[in-house]
Amino acid sequence: MGNHLSAAAVAAYRRDGYVHPLPCLTTAEAKRYRDGLEAWERESGEQATLIIRNKGHLKLRMLYDLVHDPRILDAIESVIGPDILCWSSSLFVKEPHDPAFVAWHQDSYYWGLEPDDVVSAWVAFAPSTLANGAMQVIPGSHTAPQFPHRKSAEGSGNMLFTHEEIAVDVDEGQGVSLLLGEGEMSLHHVKIVHGSPPNRSDARRYGYAIRYVAPHVRQRGDMPYATLVRGRDDHGFFKRDPVPTRDFDPAVLALFPNRKPVQHQRPAG
């Protein structure tokens, strides 16, 4: 059975748009990922959360191995089937006592992927708690229509790259915090309304969000790239990502440069 979800967990995912907590890494493995990221930050002088946002698994080899981890893929297979592409991944690190937060949003608003057989595995390299700003979701919101979004106010601290936030009132009282132990993961649907408050604790909060799609999913606009991580792709809607031969492989960076969050601008008017 591996790490496949039970029938009850799949039903909960379909009803609520998320499922947690799920087993994934051992605590020793989670620590190895934290240590690896911190070592890279010391050597490079960069902040991992700013750099490892755009296809992080192609930038650091250890993350490339992680997106292929059968413990994650078994759970993903339970919700989108046996043929799985890894489309993207983003590292969200929240510094202790930093006011940065993730505004309420739906990933479907800006990813342009259809149909919505798209699921994120959010892997906790450190415990994710109420104090350190665990991700929150609005149960069942993935079944609502797509909501409008807008740019959040300048200097608001919204960690999203393009500073999007949902443009309708969110009943925060309905929010469920996805508390996770070190090495556990949650799954969330591409349309679920989610966000997360600041980290008010003394330690970093680490979440690595891996975006998986079924091969029949298409992206609006340019033909995107993805990595086939399980099964087969009989559709050909995605070009193949390069296989990284080392960390920050120049062949990868030529296609997917490191991006930093866009300059904050409010639309005129």
Ligand X SMILES: O=C(O)CCC(=O)C(=O)O
- Site membership for ligand X, residue 180 (CB under 6 A): no
User: What is the rounded CA–CA span in Å between residue 142 and residue 7?
Assistant: 19
Query: Is residue 206 a contact point for ligand X (CB under 6 A)?
Result: no
- 231 close to 82: Cβ distance less than 8 angstroms: yes
Report whether 73 contacts 229 (CB < 8 A).
yes
Smallest distance from ligand X to CB 76, Å: 14
Phi and psi angles of residue 173, each rounded to the nearest 5 degrees, phi first = -60, -25
Count helices and strands in the chain by DSSP H and E runs:
8, 15
By C-beta, is 242 or 264 nearer to ligand X? 264
* 209 is an interface residue for ligand X by CB under 6 A: yes
Least separation in angstroms between residue 134's CB and ligand X is: 8
Interatomic CA distance for residues 222 and 237, integer angstroms: 10
Tell which one of 24, 30, 102, 180 touches ligand X (CB under 6 A).
Answer: 102
Question: CA 93 to CA 199: how far, in whole Å?
Answer: 10
Q: Tell me whether residue 40 or residue 122 sits nearer to ligand X (CB atom).
A: 122
CB distance 186 to 21 below 8 Å:
yes
**Which of 73, 126, 135, 214 touches ligand X (CB under 6 A)?**
135
Q: State the nearest-atom distance from the C-beta of 194 to ligand X, in Å.
A: 6
Residue count, binding to ligand X (CB under 6 A): 10
| Residue 194 lies near ligand X (rule: CB under 6 A) | yes
Task: Note the residues at the interface with ligand X (CB under 6 A).
Answer: 92, 102, 107, 120, 122, 135, 194, 196, 207, 209
